[in-house]
Amino acid sequence: MMKNRPRWMAVTLLLVVIAFRASAQSNLPALPDLMDERLQSIVAIEFTIEHEVDRTVNFAYGVVIDRQGTVILESNAISDRATPEQLVDFRVYRPDAPTTRYSTAEYLGQDGYTTWHFVRIGDEGRGGLRPITDFLPRSGYVIPRVAEEVWGIGLREKDEDFRPYYLGSRVSLVQELPQLTGIALQDVAGRGLPVFNRAGEFLGLGASGFGERVVIYSQRRRGEMSVLINPEECAAFRLASEVLLAVDRIPDNPYGRPLPWFGVDGIDPVDPEVAEFLGLGAGTGLVISEILTGSPAEAAGLLPRDILIALDGVPLPRLKPDAVVTAFLQRDILRRRPGSEVTLTVLRDRAQLDLPLQLADAPKTPKEAEREYFESLGLTIRETVYSDVVARREDPTQLDGVIAHFVNPSSPVGTAGLQYDDWIKEIDGEPITSFIQARDLLTAVKDSGRPEIVILVSRGGKTSVLRVKLQ
């Protein structure tokens, strides 16, 4: 009898554990009830992008973050090429409601630090909505544990009235990328839609681009590999601590101004072996390749090949993969405001230097640049901005020429060989020094009755002369 006691005790202990877990599970709310309640924080957004020759209707899913009807959408929900002026006719739909009923909304802009897009629902559509923050625990937020059970919500498409559906999985990994991100074993939520733990506490929002890759053989030569991304669901989710940042970062304007500017180009992490050789301990370093002309970095005395190792005395963290450290630096700068100061600690010839740097407001971006469409030519020209010239390895203090922002392939300029993003340097032999000058020259062409115009373009560092037949 004594010999059987250990086995008997083990069986008893196992039964007690099972009973305890069953009791704990029974005290949790039913999943259908949790899901119904949390649908009050979810919306589907429809919007239109007005292009030069057509209009495209787009859809995105988001969550409400406050009682003023503010909704956040993930960064790639709206094309980077679309300007705020092109974004029109925002409509908001509730899950599983007839799509004949919708409310209007206004685009507020994109925040550079969090990368969220912000939309605000009109007064008529806010009834019955709840901020996703209502489902946070009292402690503020929780970080899920590896192997923890999680679940989320997906939405079907418009022709199915955005019907909600359940997704479930377990946490496989939690990692800084540099945003704190959870990665589940399988798809756990729709893009931009919430993830919860078994108790119904909000854990984060679905983030596309992680863990949904399917590898196939392409139809091209040499059997190159292609990668497909699941466009509807995702296995990764940006944790609630990152989402909460959005509450205090609602843009004041559709361009997300003010935008802090550092002014370096080409930042590469040092290898772990190099970091150890340099004595960086648990930290790491970033090698600066280029200092941009007229930038805060230039004014602070930063030089090419300097190794940045700390910001305001705090060492750069060693993150995995190494490239994440570059994104960490960019985010640290973007969370600040123009005019604020930051102390850069760098290694230069094995000597450690502290360089005070005052951030500036970023130069005009392509989205803010002036542009005009010439229907008869099939061409939209855009003002040349700082980033255009930097990308072409030219002097950024010389913002001459204009950029071909849109080219209709079957138009006169398209037939002549002009391509998107060409840098138009001359029109009929006249050097272009401003957007206004280029606009006036092309406007005069429309009524001139001339058979052709000649434009000089720069593409890939090489110049070409194109003859555009007008008749």
Q: What is the pLDDT of residues 154-173, one digit of tens each?
A: 999 999 999 999 999 999 99
Residue with tokens 């877990």: 21
pTM of the model: 0.87
The H-assigned helical ranges of 346-392 are: 386-391
Q: Which residues pair with 54 in a beta bridge?
A: none
Q: Residue 20 falls within a domain, yes or no?
A: no
pLDDT band per the 50, 70, 90 thresholds, residue 322 = confident
* Same domain membership, residue 409 and residue 355: no
Q: Residue 6 falls within a domain, yes or no?
A: no
* Same domain membership, residue 159 and residue 77: no
The CA distance from 280 to 274, in Å, is: 9
Tell me the CATH number at 176.
Answer: 2.40.10.10
The CA distance from 454 to 285, in Å, is: 50
Range of the domain at 268: 260-361
* Same domain membership, residue 185 and residue 241: yes
In 3D space, the residue among 263, 258, 265 whose CA is nearest the CA of residue 336 turns out to be 258
Residue with tokens 């859809």: 59
352 class by beta-carbon count within 10 Å (0-12 exposed, 13-18 middle, 19+ buried): exposed
Domain count, the chain: 4
Tell me the CATH number at 373.
Answer: 2.30.42.10
* Same domain membership, residue 223 and residue 200: yes
Each residue's pLDDT tens digit, 358-398: 999 999 999 999 999 999 999 999 999 999 999 999 999 89
Question: Cβ atoms within 10 A of the Cβ of 336, count?
Answer: 16
Strand pairing of 423-427 and 452-459?
antiparallel
The CA distance from 412 to 96, in Å, is: 48
pLDDT band per the 50, 70, 90 thresholds, residue 213 = very low
Based on C-alpha coordinates, what's the Rg of the chain? 27
389 class by beta-carbon count within 10 Å (0-12 exposed, 13-18 middle, 19+ buried): buried
Q: Is-contact 428 437, C-beta < 8 A?
A: no
Range from 45-49, 219-223, 240-244, 292-296 carrying the lowest mean pLDDT? 219-223
Q: Residue 326 falls within a domain, yes or no?
A: yes
Q: Residue 3 falls within a domain, yes or no?
A: no
Q: Output b/e per residue, 423-444; b: 16+ Cβ within 10 A.
A: bbbbbeeeebeebeebbebbee
Question: Among 343, 361, 379, which residue terminates a domain?
Answer: 361
Residue with tokens 């110049």: 463
Q: Residue 285 falls within a domain, yes or no?
A: yes
Q: Which helix (H) or strand (E) holds 23?
A: helix 5-26
Question: 471: which DSSP letter?
Answer: -
